[in-house]
Amino acid sequence: MKNLNTFLNFLNESEGNTENKYDTYLDRQVTHEVAFPPEGTFDAIEKAKDYLRELGYKIGSMAGGDPIGFAQGVDYIAKWYNIDREDRARLDGVIIPEPDFRDGGCRILFFNVKHLPI
């Protein structure tokens, strides 16, 4: 993680955007969620990506309505359908559409990983 203060500021800013819908997702424990409401075409997903980039995450490519993986300490993350089961287990989280990325909102799901201070 690049900066703990950046992450803590992110958590404080996201407090109004959290409504925990998931205890687990893809058989992994969800430790934190942040929702981005729809405000325009692809607006929510771009805001979600900006937040993750500020935290030092590398973000995968969008592939329709599939989840988008993110992780730290990697150079590249493939589209969801090209990530095998073992690599999916290494992701720090996913961005999921609500209900679609184009005109809908999205939600960031952080998995239970050791480097997150939550």
Domain assignment present for 117: no
What letter would DSSP give residue 116? S
Domain assignment present for 62: yes
Domain assignment present for 37: yes
Domain assignment present for 118: no
Residue 2 — pLDDT band, cuts 50, 70, 90?
A: very low
Q: How many CB atoms within 10 Å of residue 90?
A: 14
Q: Give tens-digit pLDDT for 60-95.
A: 999 999 999 999 999 999 999 999 999 999 999 999
Domain assignment present for 106: yes
Domain assignment present for 116: no
Domain assignment present for 29: yes
- Per the structure, the complete domain to which residue 102 belongs is given by 4-111
Instruction: Look at phi and psi of residue 22 and say left if phi exceeds 0, alpha if psi is from -120 to 50, else beta.
Output: beta
What letter would DSSP give residue 87? H
For the chain, what is the domain count? Answer: 1
Instruction: Please tell me the predicted confidence (pLDDT) of residue 115.
Output: 59
